[in-house]
Structure 1
Amino acid sequence: MKLASLKNETRDGVLVVVSRDLTHAVAVDDIAPTLQAAIERWSEVEPLLQARSVALNAGELPEAFVFDETKAASPLPRAYQWLDGSAYLSHVELVRKARGVEMQKSFLEEPLMYQGASDYFTGPHDPVLVADEDWGVDLEAEIAIITDDVPMLTSPTDAKSHIKLLMLVNDISLRHIIPAELSKGFGFLNGKGVTAFSPIALTPDELGDAWDGSKVSLPLTVHINGEKLGDPLAGVDVYFEFPRLISHAAATRTLGAGTVIGSGTVSNHDRSRGFCCISEKRALEVVEHGQPKTPFFHFGDRVRVEMFDADGESIFGAIDNEIKKFSN
């Protein structure tokens, strides 16, 4: 089942079910007006939504309309909680190597994770607004999950059952702001810009064999201004899989329904697959040539994040954001 939130006059949009090929949709506000409302009653509403999805894909709903993903908000236009991990330690290792710093052994013992701003998510086809391109504007292409209510002290084994939906992520990082913030020892705030998610949030069964209950085994493709930055394999080099990330987040508290957890930048030790962030490419340039050559984003640049199935069809729709100057 594929779900989206179409923009309307409200902050949370209206929930629709989208056909598997992303061509048509049908409103389901009679079942749940928003995705947040659905996820809070998931055991009750999922069968109803699934039935509507089956009928839509069978062409049995005359009220279906053409789906335009450019009119979609992020599936959860805002969320009670957004947690971003760092599941791919090849990313951490390379970036630190470029700075001449070894990766701490503690990074192998428990996930890195921060709590980001979630009061407003950028739409998948909306501009990323930045006040100053000298902030070092970068993307981080990731996969994310949405959970139902997760009890405190949930084990990784039990955490699998709490993964209800998956999305793609473009997590904007302001690389020239981050170092000074982290040096204070209190985590990210201004160094993390806006976050955008794919038009589609889907149930794990839509991924077929590419989903094993813990990770997605497909390439994640990133283009900048039409040129491929990379397509790393999301199922390779995952040191902390999603159930482990959920368990870590729930170590001292419950997670409310609608919690969004990101994988962190998808990254492979095999650098021939390219990159899901500019910073990692720059780090490799430093290691190999002594200095970075690739610039961070300029105003007017465009980033596209997408995942394709074995037939080359887009699974989640595209995140396609232009970097634009903010003015008030």
Structure 2
Amino acid sequence: MKLATLKSHGRDGQEGRDGKLVVVNRSLTHYVDVPTIALTLQAALDNWQLLAPSLEGVYSRLNGGEEKNCKVFQANECMAPLPRAYQWVDGSAYVHYLELLAKVRTGQVPADLWTDPHIYQGGSDKMIGAHSGIEVISEEAGVDFEAEIAVITDDVPMHVSSEQAPQHIRLISLVNDVTLRHLIPDEFAKGYGFLQSKPATAFSPVVITPDELGDAWRENKVHLPLISTLNGKLFGRPNSGMDMTFDFAELIVHTAKTRQLTAGTIIGSGTVSNQDSSVGSSCIAERRMLEIFARGEATTEFMKFGDHVRIEMLDSTGESVFGAIDQYVIEHAISEEEVRYTSAFE
């Protein structure tokens, strides 16, 4: 099943914060509104066992051409699947990438790198759609994309077992976990981790149930290449199922070790990375690290205003699975209110 959250407007004409849930057909060409089943994706997740069969029925009829009220699907009308999520945590399941980082930063690799997942808790009050701009104040922040995969869970009990954890994976999404690289050193120096260096995260137009992947979903991993292009040129296509040290079940177990997870929790894989560097990278930082190891210096620049990144996954027939994350870097427009606020303190 494929689901999306489309922009919606209230009676006052204002855009709703949480959008409206729709069912999208397999080829991503048409959709159906489902207000009688669930108004939002969060509402569907809150009552998944009860509502999922009805959503599946709509999906089946839509793919069979039996839904008369379907409309043309346009990805640029999508919000993030969960425009404001109860929880967003991001792991770094591809330890090869973490190992490169550790070698560049300190020259030493932590002993627990391969045995204990590294996960941070990100801001989830404002998630953005696949066609939203990467809005930043300055290019000097070191703007980078990070192509990832994420799962969305239902309610997960505290201290869930590795055998039970996969049963709580309800949906899968692509992610662009934007990072401002030049802000990271000062934040890490405080010993508290990411905050300002992690602006709004973007998600694919469509989320899918694991069964949509067929044989490509196994071992709690997605075994397909994740394709990233930067300004129209292929940047990387590492296989998401390869070199994933910690699968999604293990990430769930780690996250729920000391607390329950509520329905709508999003857990990211971290930057998809393969040890075979010939397949390219899923972020600029990794390419820069490889350049340092190969030639002694990094030559690839971080993103500038107007730069364009596209992140997509194709199935074995070449069809887009989630639709594409398609974003441009844009400069934050300072509002009159911000100008007045700043002037008051000058």
> Structure 2 length normalisation: TM-score?
0.94
- Is 1:123–2:132 an aligned residue pair? no
Once the two structures are superposed, what CA deviation does each residue of 1:200-246 show, in whole Å capped at 9, x if it has no partner? 00000000000015100000000001001100010000100000000
2:340 alignment partner in structure 1? none
Distance, in Å, in 2 between the alignment partners of 1:95 and 1:154 is: 30
- Is 1:69–2:75 an aligned residue pair? yes
CA shift for structure 1 position 297: 0.3
- Is 1:110–2:121 an aligned residue pair? no
2:6 alignment partner in structure 1? 6
> Structure 1 length normalisation: TM-score?
0.99
Once the two structures are superposed, what CA deviation does each residue of 1:257-311 show, in whole Å capped at 9, x if it has no partner? 0000000000000000000000000000011111100000000001000000011
Q: Give the gaps of 5 or more residues in structure 1.
A: none
The higher radius of gyration belongs to 2
Q: Give the gaps of 5 or more residues in structure 2.
A: 9-14, 335-346
Residue 294 of structure 1 is aligned with which of 295, 300, 308? 300
| Counterpart amino acid of residue 205 in structure 1 | D
1:25-174 pair list within 5 angstroms: 25-174=31-180
Give the conservation status (yes or no) of the 8 Å contact 2:170–2:210.
yes
* Secondary structure in structure 1 of the residue aligned to 2:222: coil
| Counterpart amino acid of residue 310 in structure 1 | S
CA shift for structure 1 position 107: 1.6
* Secondary structure in structure 2 of the residue aligned to 1:168: strand
Query: 1:213–1:46: structure 2 CA closer, same or farther, 3 Å change rule?
Result: farther
| Counterpart amino acid of residue 246 in structure 2 | F
2:217 alignment partner in structure 1? 211
How many residues end up aligned between the 2 structures? Answer: 328
CA shift for structure 1 position 94: 1.5
State the identity as a percent: 52
Give the conservation status (yes or no) of the 8 Å contact 1:300–1:322.
yes
Distance, in Å, in 2 between the alignment partners of 1:231 and 1:96 is: 23
Residue 265 of structure 2 is aligned with which of 259, 273, 282? 259
1:165-314 pair list within 5 angstroms: 165-314=171-320
CA shift for structure 1 position 163: 0.2
Farther off after superposition, 10-19 or 91-100: 91-100
| Counterpart amino acid of residue 46 in structure 2 | E
* Secondary structure in structure 2 of the residue aligned to 1:107: coil
Once the two structures are superposed, what CA deviation does each residue of 1:46-68 show, in whole Å capped at 9, x if it has no partner? 00000000000000011001100
Distance, in Å, in 2 between the alignment partners of 1:271 and 1:213 is: 23
CA shift for structure 1 position 99: 3.2
* Secondary structure in structure 1 of the residue aligned to 2:201: strand
Once the two structures are superposed, what CA deviation does each residue of 1:108-145 show, in whole Å capped at 9, x if it has no partner? 22100000000001110011100011000101100000
Give the conservation status (yes or no) of the 8 Å contact 1:224–1:301.
yes
CA RMSD of aligned residues (A): 0.8
* Secondary structure in structure 2 of the residue aligned to 1:108: coil
CA shift for structure 1 position 102: 2.0
Query: 1:50–1:213: structure 2 CA closer, same or farther, 3 Å change rule?
Result: farther
Farther off after superposition, 92-101 or 185-194: 92-101
CA shift for structure 1 position 100: 4.8
Farther off after superposition, 255-264 or 101-110: 101-110
Distance, in Å, in 2 between the alignment partners of 1:316 and 1:57 is: 16
Give the conservation status (yes or no) of the 8 Å contact 1:4–1:15.
yes
Give the conservation status (yes or no) of the 8 Å contact 1:122–1:128.
no
